A and B are shown apart, each in its own frame.
Chain A
């Protein structure tokens, strides 16, 4: 039964890491879009 914890740990770790990375890409992207708009003015 303890083994199931490992299963959840693996799946959750996977999505936490993907989430953090995609989040940072999204954040950088929107920040740059902002900057782009400012520069275009």
Chain B
């Protein structure tokens, strides 16, 4: 399993190169928005990857609460951190796309706003993990993840209804996709999903290593005490 990692990493890098080529060169230029629309091939797949990672965090958190598995907790941390990274990219590429096309930096677009709230929830999750000293941090964090998950549908509905009352621009591709655009989009979706999984896996291994080292260090200090 461990030996597969470098090979898969290289494959993922190649896949990303190919998908970026698809996005920048192969996909046709959009009629109304021009080349700026190509941000779409990064923006939406990143959002999809972030949401998947947050979902992984939720499952891992639940597993931790039910089975007390420390590996599940390590995965939860990894998924949350990498998810926040991808989420940050969605929040940056969104406004960069919106500004030249729709003339505004921000709009209460459903997907963008939901991403913002998820970002806030998971940043608070990471802050809790960092600031909490107790050995029960995993449990507290897992509970927070559950609260976050319960919140998501409520956020969705509140934004959705708000938008029906206060019409706002929609950040999106609008209308149907040219098959070559769809092709490029799907390749990027796959590439970013693999990339997200790889980084998460690496972060997970880092977390396991970190815990192993901590354990060994505490054994060391015990040995030092008894000598």
Q: Interface residues, chain A, CB within 8 Å of chain B?
A: 2-4, 6-7, 9-11, 13-14, 17-18, 21-22, 25, 28-29, 32-33, 35-36, 39
* Cβ proximity bits B73-91 to A, threshold 8 Å, 1 near / 0 not: 0000000001001001100
Residues in B whose Cβ lies below 8 Å from that of A6: 36, 39, 96-97, 99-100
Residues in A whose Cβ lies below 8 Å from that of B210: 28, 32
Secondary structure of the B side of the interface?
Answer: helix
Q: Are B96 and A9 in contact (CB under 8 A)?
A: yes
Q: Are B89 and A32 in contact (CB under 8 A)?
A: no
B133 within 8 Å of A (CB atoms): no
Q: Report the bound CA distance from A14 to B23 in whole Å.
A: 14
B203 within 8 Å of A (CB atoms): yes
Residues in B whose Cβ lies below 8 Å from that of A29: 202, 205-206, 209
Q: Report the bound CA distance from A28 to B213 in whole Å.
A: 12
Residues in A whose Cβ lies below 8 Å from that of B96: 6, 9-10, 13
Residues in A whose Cβ lies below 8 Å from that of B203: 25
Contact flag A25-B100 (CB < 8 Å), given A7-B35, A10-B42: no
A33 to chain B, nearest CB (A): 7
18 more contacts with CB within 8 A, not counting A10-B96, A32-B206, are: A3-B36, A4-B35, A4-B36, A6-B39, A6-B96, A10-B97, A11-B39, A11-B42, A13-B92, A14-B92, A18-B89, A18-B199, A21-B199, A25-B203, A29-B202, A32-B210, A32-B213, A39-B220
Contact flag A13-B89 (CB < 8 Å), given A6-B96, A36-B213, A39-B216: yes
Of B36, B38, B89, the residue contacting A17 (CB under 8 A) is B89
Q: Report the bound CA distance from A21 to B20 in whole Å.
A: 20
Nearest neighbor of A22 in chain B, beta-carbon distance: B199
B115 within 8 Å of A (CB atoms): no
Q: Report the bound CA distance from A33 to B209 in whole Å.
A: 8
| Candidate in A4, A10, A13, A25 with the most chain B CB atoms within 10 angstroms | A10
Q: Report the bound CA distance from A7 to B41 in whole Å.
A: 11
Residues in B whose Cβ lies below 8 Å from that of A14: 42, 46, 89, 92-93
Residues in B whose Cβ lies below 8 Å from that of A10: 39, 42-43, 92-93, 96-97
Nearest neighbor of B101 in chain A, beta-carbon distance: A3
